[in-house]
Structure 1
Amino acid sequence: MAPIEIKLSKKDLNEIKELTRKGRVDVRVVKRALILKSRHLGMGTDDIAQLLDIDPSLIPITLNNYLEFGLKTTIEDAPRTGRPLVFDDRDKSNIVALVCAEPPKGYARWTLDLIQETCVKNKLVDTISKSTIQVILQEHELQPWREKMWCIPELTEEYINRMEDVLQIYERSYNSSRPVICLDEKPVALISNKHEMIPCSPGQVAKKDYEYTRGGSANVFCAVEPLRGKYFNKVTMDRKRPEFAKFLNDIKNSYTGVEKIILIMDNLNTHSEKSLIEQYGEEKGRVIWNCFEVHHTPKHASWLNQAEIAIGMYSRQCLGDGRVESFSNLREMTRDWNKSVNKKKTIIQWEFNRKKAREKFSYEIVSSR
């Protein structure tokens, strides 16, 4: 994050000069004034914190307050006669700025307890309840204890072209003669409990021992037709070319009388015509491959593949805590889940389109005449 820069007016500099000359001034007021003056003189955050012996997180809060509220509101304390339960805008701004910064050393993320403790320690407020903090966070739509994995793309021409290609397919209306299938793989570790679980009972949750036994790993090919809620999950020993070729053939055999199967997948080296030819021979391999119209997602863009959503459903609903003891057990569980989910026909509501992509990533498509 870029450092916050400020420039004090002559009037503000004179007021700070007069303030620091006074004999009886609250030390917190003086320190806020000196934070502003130090940054005005070009000092860095660490240097200011060391010079004034303060928590570094107070510095951006003070600087932001100055930019938003001016000198007087920033350095002076609000009236403290029976601190009101409803905090003013400056208090809320301070708390929001604190939560949007890194948590103290030794902590991975903010919690309500930690926010409460730090607010009082840093003298942002005299006292504040966790419920009040929660209300302030809700007002600003903040959940600092949550995080998402996100791959920031390098917007090359290839990335944009592939993304636009996939999204224009997702925008099409359903066409039974050209079904859209999304495909991906999921590795699954085979893990068994070392000791028998204790099932739940009234008033008691189920219990399992933390020890477990590793039994190798397996692969699950996951494919979905999002607009129909049709799911294809197949357990294999690995994701090598022969298994991929068999899975693609299984999908092909599930559709009769279609013009073409639109297939969206990543550019893994096994996701190619070569896998079909090696498994079934050149003639049959090409016949199977030509049943598909293949579209690859960009590199580092698994989020564009709706198969990822299907994998998430499968992981939560079928695999649960991830302890699957054997290959045969995984295959049986997967087969049962396929039957159940295909009865429900749960479609995937995909809302991200080309218009949103262009707004999100700030690029334009110039149409050629």
Structure 2
Amino acid sequence: MPVPRARQIVLTAPERRRLEKLAYSRTTESGLVVRVRIVLDAARGYSNNQIAVRRGVHLDTVRTWRGRYADHGLRGLGDRPRSGRPPRFTPVQRAEIKALACQLPAETGVPLSRWSSSELAAETINRGVAETISASTVRRILAEDALKPWHYQSWLFIRDPDFAAKAARVLDLYQRIWDGTGLGDDEYVLSSDEKTSIQARCRCHPTLAPGVSRTMRVNHEYDRGGSLAYLAAYDVHHARVLGYCAAKTGIVPFMTLVEKIMTSQPYASAKRVFWVVDNGSSHRGKAAADRLAARFPNAVLVHTPVHASWLNQVEIFFSIVQRKVVSPNDFTSLDQVEDRLTAFERRYNETARPFEWKFTQADLEDLLARIERHEQNEHSQQHTGCDHQPAASPTPA
């Protein structure tokens, strides 16, 4: 039986340079590098057996890629289209798996709060949708529609009938506008609230500082040393925080904070000082606004809508306090907690810049329009699979 002769490979100078660049590139796919080097060896006159030994591949592999380059050039070194393995699950089965994922487990009689991929795989088999299926396959099927039933997000509907008007007033103040008129240099906007129940957790063993290949270590056991509240007002446009600690919250502690700030400059001589607050019991309703105005005529209390503390910028400052001062909470006493908060307030005021508040009136209008569309479609879309799920949180929770 005649032995097939090796195909002759003759390279031009540009072809050789291009192949050599691919052969020694660090970003070229490894499989393509082997094929290119086979072609280069063939062009240098090596036999197929020699190339197979040099490159550590089978003789048939050398023949294949040598022949493909001879017939098609560099294009011949690429992979040919493949049909792939036929799908194991029909479109109907895939749709049933997705529909199951879009139901709450409790509604299907399964005592779970939410699905996992393994639980969905087991339920798919129990229902006879498929004889066998793995959790990873379920994940791939759900990924086609970006379904992740093991995740959840909390949300709430707007309950304040004057939400739009109240939110617009707060957003206007952040833009230095009140009743359509710009604020003067002697007018200020303060965002105020209370951070409650800051505990003094006295650890039973000292906290260990971080070291090489070791994070900071905090003992899990602790004795309770009591708790306090941190009341603060944040000057929105000047990035200045003024606060103090109290044993508890209430009307008296809040008015103490107001007294402390409104009797100091520049607020004492300001034309107007707007106090943005939420609807907590310390400053709720018209009575709180009247009480503030009676004590300080240049103070104006402005309420955020109900369940919309996220519009209050001081909450951003409190999140910074939680990350940088309170956590992981290792204090010997409440006095140490208070001292740490007071020192951090001074430190923050030395370098703070106003927050880059990006939620505007246009964003508010988009939010309200999205909620209105959701309410209109809520009843018609119930019990129709995933379509009954809200597309996005109506309001941040």
TM range (shorter): 0.5 to 0.7
Cα deviation per residue 1:43-77 (whole Å; 9 max; x = unaligned)?
xxxxxxxxxxxxxxxxxxxxxxxxxxxxxxxxxxx
Question: What is the match of residue 153 of structure 2?
Answer: 147
Shift of 1:205: 4.0
- 1:345 paired to 2:349: no
> How has the CA–CA distance of structure 1 residues 327 and 359 changed in structure 2, closer, same or farther, with 3 Å as cutoff?
same
Out of 339, 347, 351, the residue aligned to residue 332 of structure 1 is 339
Distance (whole Å) between structure 2 residues aligned to residue 129 and residue 169 of structure 1: 52
Question: What is the match of residue 206 of structure 2?
Answer: 196
Out of 316, 320, 323, the residue aligned to residue 313 of structure 1 is 320
Shift of 1:112: 4.7
Shift of 1:184: 0.9
Corresponding residue pairs, total: 274
CA RMSD of aligned residues (A): 4.0
Q: Mark the runs of 5 or more structure 2 residues left unpaired by the alignment.
A: 1-83, 374-397
Question: What is the match of residue 230 of structure 2?
Answer: 220
Question: What is the match of residue 270 of structure 2?
Answer: 258
Residue pair 2:116, 2:149 contacting (<8 A) in 1 also: no
Distance (whole Å) between structure 1 residues aligned to residue 98 and residue 191 of structure 2: 41
Question: What is the match of residue 187 of structure 2?
Answer: 178
Residue pair 1:226, 1:348 contacting (<8 A) in 2 also: no
- 1:249 paired to 2:274: no
Distance (whole Å) between structure 2 residues aligned to residue 189 and residue 340 of structure 1: 22
Residue pair 2:272, 2:299 contacting (<8 A) in 1 also: yes
Residue pair 1:111, 1:145 contacting (<8 A) in 2 also: no
Shift of 1:218: 0.3
Distance (whole Å) between structure 1 residues aligned to residue 96 and residue 116 of structure 2: 16
Alignment of 1:5-20 (within 5 A): none
Cα deviation per residue 1:227-270 (whole Å; 9 max; x = unaligned)?
44333343222223443223123333253553211111134454
> How has the CA–CA distance of structure 1 residues 286 and 135 changed in structure 2, closer, same or farther, with 3 Å as cutoff?
same
> How has the CA–CA distance of structure 1 residues 321 and 145 changed in structure 2, closer, same or farther, with 3 Å as cutoff?
farther
Distance (whole Å) between structure 2 residues aligned to residue 228 and residue 123 of structure 1: 65
Moved more, 219-228 or 184-193: 219-228
SS of equivalent residue, structure 1 residue 179: strand
Distance (whole Å) between structure 1 residues aligned to residue 164 and residue 342 of structure 2: 37
Distance (whole Å) between structure 2 residues aligned to residue 123 and residue 251 of structure 1: 69
> How has the CA–CA distance of structure 1 residues 260 and 277 changed in structure 2, closer, same or farther, with 3 Å as cutoff?
closer
Shift of 1:185: 0.8
> How has the CA–CA distance of structure 1 residues 108 and 339 changed in structure 2, closer, same or farther, with 3 Å as cutoff?
farther
Shift of 1:102: 2.2
Residue identity matched to 1:162: K
Shift of 1:114: 4.1
Distance (whole Å) between structure 1 residues aligned to residue 212 and residue 117 of structure 2: 31
> How has the CA–CA distance of structure 1 residues 84 and 334 changed in structure 2, closer, same or farther, with 3 Å as cutoff?
farther
SS of equivalent residue, structure 2 residue 321: helix
Residue identity matched to 2:100: L
> How has the CA–CA distance of structure 1 residues 344 and 267 changed in structure 2, closer, same or farther, with 3 Å as cutoff?
closer
Residue identity matched to 2:205: H
- 1:304 paired to 2:304: no
SS of equivalent residue, structure 1 residue 362: helix
Alignment of 1:84-99 (within 5 A): 84=87, 93-99=95-101
Distance (whole Å) between structure 1 residues aligned to residue 326 and residue 141 of structure 2: 36
Out of 273, 295, 298, the residue aligned to residue 291 of structure 1 is 298
Residue identity matched to 1:221: L
Cα deviation per residue 1:319-367 (whole Å; 9 max; x = unaligned)?
123454422221222123323433142514241534234314439xxxx
SS of equivalent residue, structure 2 residue 283: coil
> How has the CA–CA distance of structure 1 residues 304 and 225 changed in structure 2, closer, same or farther, with 3 Å as cutoff?
same
Question: What is the match of residue 358 of structure 1?
Answer: 368
> How has the CA–CA distance of structure 1 residues 208 and 243 changed in structure 2, closer, same or farther, with 3 Å as cutoff?
same
> How has the CA–CA distance of structure 1 residues 261 and 286 changed in structure 2, closer, same or farther, with 3 Å as cutoff?
closer
Distance (whole Å) between structure 2 residues aligned to residue 164 and residue 338 of structure 1: 30
Residue pair 1:99, 1:144 contacting (<8 A) in 2 also: no
Distance (whole Å) between structure 1 residues aligned to residue 129 and residue 274 of structure 2: 58
Question: What is the match of residue 170 of structure 2?
Answer: 166
> How has the CA–CA distance of structure 1 residues 228 and 248 changed in structure 2, closer, same or farther, with 3 Å as cutoff?
same
Distance (whole Å) between structure 2 residues aligned to residue 325 and residue 262 of structure 1: 38
> How has the CA–CA distance of structure 1 residues 267 and 134 changed in structure 2, closer, same or farther, with 3 Å as cutoff?
same
Alignment of 1:233-248 (within 5 A): 233-248=243-258
Distance (whole Å) between structure 1 residues aligned to residue 136 and residue 257 of structure 2: 53
Question: What is the match of residue 231 of structure 1?
Answer: 241
Residue pair 2:241, 2:345 contacting (<8 A) in 1 also: yes
Cα deviation per residue 1:200-227 (whole Å; 9 max; x = unaligned)?
4434444444322112210011332334
Residue pair 1:166, 1:295 contacting (<8 A) in 2 also: yes
Distance (whole Å) between structure 1 residues aligned to residue 337 and residue 144 of structure 2: 41
Shift of 1:143: 6.8
Residue pair 1:170, 1:350 contacting (<8 A) in 2 also: no
Which has the greater radius of gyration?
2
Q: Mark the runs of 5 or more structure 1 residues left unpaired by the alignment.
A: 1-80, 279-284, 364-369
SS of equivalent residue, structure 1 residue 321: coil
Cα deviation per residue 1:255-292 (whole Å; 9 max; x = unaligned)?
355321111113445438988999xxxxxx86862232
TM-score normalised to structure 1 length: 0.59
Shift of 1:295: 0.9
Distance (whole Å) between structure 1 residues aligned to residue 265 and residue 235 of structure 2: 12
